[in-house]
A = this chain, B = another copy of it.
């Protein structure tokens, strides 16, 4: 009612105020994106989820989501006489889920759902079922850290590259220094993956607010040495020079691992308020990032006192090995001698790399390297990697 007091003509001011309000409402509703024809998804009290799509001209609408068994599984939605397609799931465990509709076979996000996550080059709709693990992935009214998208020079790879840096609550208002977790993505991912699919910043916010994790920084790099940044943010001039043409082979060339040690860590330790030294450095990664984590910690024993390997076993005689058993044994002996504070291994029972992790554990048992092993249900999925981060982070820097 500011207008009532700030104008000489209260009633006129009020009328104009209400008119202004009315017209801004009109302005809002003038835009198609402001009409949400249906509510979708809608999580019910029993944690079942209703999906709705208005598609009167479609011949068939299916949905495929990561709560369904296996790749490529989909279910038909039921159509009513207005052309509204609907389906209700069974009650779902509290988690973060991704899905798309198949409209006459075409993959599409849910137009009723603003939440999108990008998995590689594919965008999917997202929702969270609260009440359990999913609460750890939601945004709560608690102190939040910041996420900075920043570019750095990588002489090792001959280009500027982008990374994401999570700074904990208080970083920008205080003077403390923090330990750093270097968190690596998998093949097909990029520097964006751990904050979108991985919910890393909100997981850390929640764990720190609950007193379960020490305040820490998290550095999320791009693990593809031929890419300057995610496909959404690649410099066009670099693409034109063909620097993108390295292909997936670059992922096991050892160049990313070298750039992390020679370029990334020095940049982070000289540009942010971080505690330096092995006791304040952790490294963890999933799939290809687990491979990178092992290559780095094997080659640079003692550089990281906290090590986490998710869903990947690098093992001298196994199919992912790129050097000999003898070399591997030599490296692990040096790693053991460096006395790591934590070596954490996690994998899902149905992971297609489960056997590689089993072989890795056998090898570490023979070598006498102590580790914590976490076996979950499920496979090579972000559901597992979010769980692994939420269980690994509390063990770091203790």
- Interface residues, chain A, with chain B CB atoms under 8 Å away: 2-3, 6-9, 12-13, 16-17, 19-21, 23-25, 27-28, 30-34, 36, 53, 55-60, 71-72, 101, 103-109, 111, 114-116, 118-123, 130, 138-144, 146-151, 159-160, 162, 172-173, 187-188, 228-229, 231-238, 247-249, 251-254, 270-272, 287-288, 319-324, 326-327, 352
Contacts and interface: CB of A to CB of B under 8 A. Distances in A.
A201 to B, nearest CB: 8
A17 B249 CA distance: 10
Contacts of A23: 319-320
Given A24-B187, A139-B229, A146-B149, 17 more contacts: A13-B322, A13-B324, A16-B323, A21-B252, A24-B320, A56-B105, A57-B60, A101-B106, A103-B104, A114-B123, A115-B232, A138-B236, A139-B233, A139-B234, A139-B236, A141-B235, A172-B271
Contacts of A105: 55-58
A156 to B, nearest CB: 13
A120 B33 contact: yes
B24 A251 contact: yes
Contacts of A253: 2
Contacts of A6: 323, 327
11 contacts: A6-B327, A8-B327, A24-B251, A25-B247, A101-B106, A103-B108, A109-B109, A123-B123, A140-B236, A147-B149, A150-B172
